[in-house]
Structure 1
Amino acid sequence: MRIRETFEKRKNSGQKALVTYIVSGDYGYETTKENIREMVRAGADIIEIGVPFSDPIAEGIVIQEASQHSLSQGTTLKGIFQMVKELREEIKETPFVMMMYLNSIYRFGTKKFFDLCNECGIDGVIVPDMPYEEKDEIQGEATAHRVDNISLVTPTSHDRISMIAGDAEGFLYCVSSIGVTGTRSEFTTDFDSFFDVIKKNSEIPCAVGFGISGPEQAKTMSQYCDGVIVGSAIVKLISQHGTESPKHVYEFTHSLRKALDE
């Protein structure tokens, strides 16, 4: 519910939503918490909380390295839930979405996972290695716990775009281009035709991600959809500045928010 309300609020104000991503536990839980606080303070509307994984197949080198660094420091899913629970005590309205791989849910226990999503205030999950046709692996528990199982759609989904878009919940994660996450200097996707198919088959909010590296790209991409997702550029800032990163994350997030509002 928080996710849809957030998009609706921005839309009613004639604005676009800003979704920001972070790898949990990179430089410790406290650094992650402070970075999330600064993202929210700077105008981020939804926070994607990345769960580090040993084989993050959808991720580029920046997030891969941050995931390995986080895991080497002892980050666990249980620890991430505790971190989120503490954050939720002070950040009441901002939706939190976990981005993670299916095996992490399986190993933890699907019901136990969604129980803790409810307990700690997680509004949605994004599972990039789970094909649409296999979403029933977690859909029952997600629905029972009122956690949005957020679908991804790519420019190469072709005939499947209408099927995935028509069945989406929370928001539709629109992958900007072929390949893994990471900043890009330019895009070759025909966004007009891509989003035309999406909008004909779904009324749910859609946000575009994978490769948006800065304010100008965010503003350009926002014309096609309801929101933009920025991840690798933020993760890179954290890798550069470590425990001193929150002020830099604030400044960058604020620049994204400003560009979207111009």
Structure 2
Amino acid sequence: MNRLNDTAFTDAEKRFVPYMMSSDPTPDLSVEIALMLQDAGVEAIEWGVPYSDPLADGPVIQQAGQRALKNGGSLTVSLQKMKEARAKGLTVPSVLFTYVNPVLSYGFTKLIEELKDYGFDGLLIPDLPYEESHEYRALCREKGISLIPLIAPSSKSRVEKITKEADGFVYYVTSLGVTGTRESFSETLKEEINTVKSFSKVPVLAGFGISTPEHVQYFQEHADGAIVGSALVRKIASLEDSLKNPEEKDAALNEIKAFVQNLISY
């Protein structure tokens, strides 16, 4: 079963989806953070794979990837740790967020064939152009995996073409450039999101730069949900030492949980 197609996700009134870097601060702690995010009330999780050249990521997530790589993180470890999280009780949908080069090194067909067994429902590859994704999209559908498209401001015809093929959800990029927190967004976003929603049969979630409860509320009103990455990754980084200290770990996890619940307290 693809959890992104389950009514718990498709029929949710509002959706909050956090991005986290697997293996940051350690592989085992990332499993505990994922379970904590579920307890905090998120609707799904984007599970980032550490990579040395993450073109779509801003400095906060780049640094998290470097920490994760130093701690033994990799695509293989990311897969294994999601399987471990499922065994420990993770039930919300999960999307593997990675880049083309690690996937090619692992084997594109091999990865898609194995994702379900590791507990994933979706795959998101920001540097895979839509025009080169058709073969992989077909294989994902065959294997019950949603290949999530990213849509940035573009021509209406291209937006329509990409959106109508979307599965799982559409990731609407709220601003051009890399990920990272922002103070404000374009005044045209509401109209642009409405255009994407008019073509889409799946939820449209907005991401890139969303970092405050007000941002989350705005995009849950105009889109079908909000994705938060850099703000959460920064919070986890600020608590790295406490998370690694057995005597302080629970308090640190609870602090991250409270941070997330504050974001979604609409």
TM-score normalised to structure 2 length:
0.91
Provide the C-alpha distance between the structure 1 equivalents of 2:265 and 2:190, rounded to a whole number of angstroms: 24
Provide the residue aligned with 1:2 in structure 2: 3
Alignment of structure 1 residues 223-238 onto 2, 5 Å: 223-238=221-236
Task: Give how far 1:221 is off.
Answer: 1.5
Q: Does 1:252 align with 2:248?
A: no
RMSD value over aligned CA atoms? 1.5
Specify the SS of the correspondent of 1:122.
coil
1:142 to 122, 140, 143: 140
- Of structures 1 and 2, the one scoring higher in RCO (CA 8 A, sep 6+) is 1
Mean Cα deviation higher: 152-161 or 48-57: 152-161
Does the 8 Å contact 2:38/2:90 carry over to 1? no
Gaps of 5+ in 2: 244-248
Task: Give how far 1:28 is off.
Answer: 0.7
Provide the C-alpha distance between the structure 2 equivalents of 1:69 and 1:158, rounded to a whole number of angstroms: 39
Provide the residue aligned with 1:44 in structure 2: 42
Provide the C-alpha distance between the structure 2 equivalents of 1:48 and 1:75, rounded to a whole number of angstroms: 16
Alignment of structure 1 residues 77-226 onto 2, 5 Å: 77-226=75-224
TM-score normalised to structure 1 length:
0.92
Does the 8 Å contact 1:19/1:48 carry over to 2? yes
Specify the SS of the correspondent of 1:168.
coil
Does the 8 Å contact 2:194/2:222 carry over to 1? no
Alignment of structure 1 residues 37-76 onto 2, 5 Å: 37-76=35-74
Does the 8 Å contact 2:3/2:93 carry over to 1? yes
Q: Quick one: which amino acid aligns to residue 121 of structure 2? A: D
CA displacement, residues 131-175 of structure 1 (integer Å, 9 cap, x when unaligned): 111112522331221110000101235431111111111100001
Does the 8 Å contact 1:156/1:178 carry over to 2? no
Evaluate the alpha carbon distance shift between residue 157 and residue 126 of structure 1 in structure 2; reply closer, same or farther with a 3 A threshold. farther
Provide the C-alpha distance between the structure 1 equivalents of 2:104 and 2:96, rounded to a whole number of angstroms: 15
Gaps of 5+ in 1: none
Task: Give how far 1:76 is off.
Answer: 1.8
What's the % identity of the aligned pairs?
35
